[in-house]
Amino acid sequence: MTPLPPSEHALPPGAGDPLRTFGGMFRDAALETAFEQDRAPESVRHARGLLGAAVLINLLFLISDWRFHGTPHFWLALSARLVVVAWAATALLLVTRLRSAAVLHRVLVAWMIGNALPVGLLVTSGSEIALVIAFLLPAIYYLCVPVRFGWTLGCGVFASAAMLAGLASSDLPRGNGIGILLAMMMANVALALTVTRANRMSRTAWLAARTESGLRAALDRSRAQLQRLFDACPVPLILTDRASGSLIRMSDSCAALIGSAPSSALAGPGPADPAAERLARTLGADAGATDYEVQLATADRGDRTLLVHAAALEVDGRDVVLAGLVDITRRKAEQTSLERLASTDALTGLRNRLSFFAAARAEMLRATRTRQPLALLMVDLDHFKAINDSRGHSAGDAALRAFGALCTRTLDPGAVIGRLGGEEFGVLLRSESSDAAAGAESLRAATAALRIGLAQGPPLALTVSIGIAAVSPNDRDIDAALARADLALYAAKHGGRNRVVAEQADAARMARTG
């Protein structure tokens, strides 16, 4: 529905009833024309259905009329019925090709007048069905034909007159004529009042909807003006409701910052951008804070880190949060990268010694709370110095990288893996020593089967020795378990390397060789 300008849809105070008392149409011709144009598509569909039904029903009557073949009234009824069908079909054909309300009115008025005359001839039979049709046709004109009230009233009265004339020519008892006339007059008055009420209701609803549409358009213009002022600020801004955390408004620069579509800059009907809504809820929850960081996942710009400068205030009795945003994603990424470099072994990509011990201590604290068993593996690459001496340090580096990748693939995803120095590695597993022994054996076997291609010479083969120690709840630090695992590792090396030895009194019996 296209909103009218305020001068056309808004009535001034004290303007009185905009609708006529009789007929229910707008007093203002421009309003009536606008109403008809707005309803034109619906009126056309309605007229098509009405005329189509008229054609179909009269064709059925035409077939039924053959029962009276041979009676004096047959040929007159047949001719009149053919005219009714042809006239309705012609009107239907015209209606299917037009969209204008004015032309629709002319076609329907012509149909009503042209239809009433042959139907008047049909009711000259004076039968009971003729009497029903005499009252039914004016009712159809009043209630079913979408034309202006003046034409509705005129055609309804004309149809009633045609019906009365036809009945007067019939064989009805003369005493019934006055009664039928009075009944017809009463029916016309009742139908006119019914149409008046329906017209008033439909136009009142239309005017209310059009007025609301116009007011919404004015509100949208006001919002657009506010948005232009809001966007003039070079700092991305967002305004949220403090109580519900819902988005009220955000600037275009804010939309560009978090990757939202510009159409979400003014909150309105329909779903808002998910990233904007998440940010709005975060601001509402942290309304008491002024300067803080938030993490935001966006659809097209990935995860962003925003520095928020927020202030809680009241606007028109509503508690809101106004926030300015600064994108510090790159700075945080650089900081994270530095932290990763400080905690990661550059050659293998595993944790370095410092990071491994920190993660192991944290895992021990968690295991103490959850009573989760832990086992520690000490892993040493066998004959690593010989690899460096015989194949070069580049081969040693390749061996370390390949073994680090193998650990990541082979061991449990929850394992804490680190390079402790040189060719020594530490692994902390969330399992009993017996289960850890199975995992360690899998790692040992996978290492023995590994072949590392080098730029020169044959592929490089590796073996490892592994010592296992259970982490006891009495261990105050990982160093105690590390010392026990180191003893088991020494036993594995002393026993011939390429084997797994668990921390036990009889370590030799638990050794596993490839």
Of the candidates 494, 490, 435, which has an alpha carbon nearest to the alpha carbon of residue 467? 490
Mark residue 70 as left, alpha or beta (left: phi above 0; alpha: psi -120 to 50; beta: remaining).
left
Mark residue 455 as left, alpha or beta (left: phi above 0; alpha: psi -120 to 50; beta: remaining).
alpha
CA distance 69 to 91: 29
Are 116 and 162 in contact by the 8 Å Cβ rule? The answer is yes
Are 155 and 145 in contact by the 8 Å Cβ rule? The answer is yes
Query: Which alpha helices (H) appear in 392-477, and where do they start and end?
Result: 393-410, 433-449
Residues near 80 by beta carbon (within 8 Å), at least 6 away in sequence: 118, 119, 121, 122
Residues near 86 by beta carbon (within 8 Å), at least 6 away in sequence: none
To the nearest 10°, report the CA torsion of 253, 259, 260, 266: -10
Are 95 and 107 in contact by the 8 Å Cβ rule? The answer is yes
- If you compute the radius of gyration of the chain from its CA atoms, what whole number of angstroms results? 46
The token duo for 260 is 């939202």
Element (H, E) at 228: helix 176-231
CA distance 160 to 412: 94
Are 255 and 264 in contact by the 8 Å Cβ rule? The answer is yes
Of the candidates 448, 432, 445, which has an alpha carbon nearest to the alpha carbon of residue 375? 432
| Catalytic annotation, residues | 423
Half-sphere exposure of 489 (CA within 13 A, CB side): 24
Are 94 and 52 in contact by the 8 Å Cβ rule? The answer is no
What number of other Cβ atoms are within 10 A of residue 425's Cβ? 27
CA distance 210 to 207: 5
What number of other Cβ atoms are within 10 A of residue 509's Cβ? 9
Long-range (24+ apart) CB contacts under 8 A made by 327-335 are: 327/257, 328/293, 329/303, 329/304, 329/305, 331/305, 332/293, 332/305
